[in-house]
Structure 1
Amino acid sequence: MTTSGQMVIGIDGDDTLWHMEKFYADAQRAYGALLKAYGSSEEIDARLLRTETRNIDVFGYGVKSFVLSMIETALEVSDREISGRDVETIMRIGHDILQSPTELIDGVADVIQSLSASHRLILITKGELISQERRIAESGLAASFEAIEIVSEKTPATYRTILKRHGVPVGAFVMIGNSVRSDIAPVLDIGGRAVHIPYHVTWAHEAHAPLASDSADTTATAGLWRLDSIREVPDLLARIGRAGTNDAPRG
């Protein structure tokens, strides 16, 4: 059990600890080139995003859902005329993502090692189970985390359940991640604190998600910080710790 005065750090996986979205971006460019006879890359991207969003409730997140959505979109834009060879190409595009290397973001290994010596760390990552398990294993970071949570969605209820399971008061919790929709807004909604570290490429589904609050305030009293690099996290957490209750979240 953690008291409210002790910080427990939740950390996202994809595009916070290791690169992932850049592989999707490469895949989407190849997909657009494959379907160029049926529309511009912008048109194909927009159709694919609509299909992906519609399919999330059915297929969830991850590469397999992405591939199914690519095939469905290709059938739609081609009026069911896409060839079997092109469908095979789409399958290969997905296979390439699944087989892409797990590359840690610069500074991650040192920062996680440092934080694990002084904080309880919980990895909270979203996506398809097998794929996420492989990324975690290949990252070499698993031993630094007290707990690992692979979830199908990140909502306020998801975070409440995780915190309850691990005996973490919401006032002690700080979430670190790249996605406002998944890592930041839900945590602020339940009264926790969050550190946003944007990734240079963002999936449109995640990008179109403003914070629940319409306040532009990102000071410590708002419980939200934005950093350029994970390397800045240890210094930020040290400042929060020194400030104590002055940095408590609103509400």
Structure 2
Amino acid sequence: MEFKTIFVLFGVILVGYTSAQVPIPSHPDGYGVGGPADAHVVVEMFLDPLCPDCKASWPTVLQVIQVYGTKIHFRFHTFPLPYHTNSFVASQGVHVIANATNRNLDSIFLYVTKVFENQEKWYNDATKTMTMPQVVDSLATFVAQLGIVTKDTFLAGMTNDDINDETRISWKYACSRMVVGTPTFLINGVAVSADASWSLDDWKSVIDPILASNGVTPSKVQDCPPNQTECDYAPHKTQCCLTGERCIKNVGCRCFNLKLGNKCL
């Protein structure tokens, strides 16, 4: 009798565990740039597009990506928080962009960057007089103006059940990694205390020793030569503009001198 009771209890526990099992996605969760996924240093960020602390952390994160290039792998995951109004909608937008652009990382990172920059449009009280369809329409118009995808494409993605499921699975995946807030950073699977207060030097103080222990020369910030201007024209992409060139977002350094036939001096 005791054995049967134990067996039944075990069965109940097992059923409870399997019913709570995170669905296995069709590809690894998140969106990564830089080196391979098995690089010596893998930095993961769990973010909410409408989280002010994530917004504050993002510029330094982009610096880290730029400085280390292929020496590290950076990957972010969406984790919408319930007390940030519209955070699930904004997070689903990431997955919509990914599906509509065949996971084009430039488009995905541009979306995240621009939503952060315009966070006040959809954050909490900003939309208290709007219906959810109006919020989605506002976000779709914004995305179309950026030129990432058309408004109709974005709206179609927001009503796609599979993409909605992707967003939910990403959230559940974060929970399975014991994530409870944003931003949460992991380095090689271990949680670190990184937040918006961390500078590039703070990141380097953690990453460089790991690279060095694997025989990899730590990266140094590459400044542009004298008389050239740094152009951060897209997420994790930088050029040095020559005299007479202008920095154009999503394009890079270009000459605009009509008197010289658009040729630089």
With CA pairs under 8 Å and 6+ residues apart, which has the higher RCO, 1 or 2? Answer: 1
Q: Which has the larger radius of gyration?
A: 2
Greater per-residue helix proportion: 1
Superposition TM-score, scaled by structure 1 size: 0.30
Greater strand proportion: 2
- What is the TM-score with the length of structure 2 in the denominator? 0.29
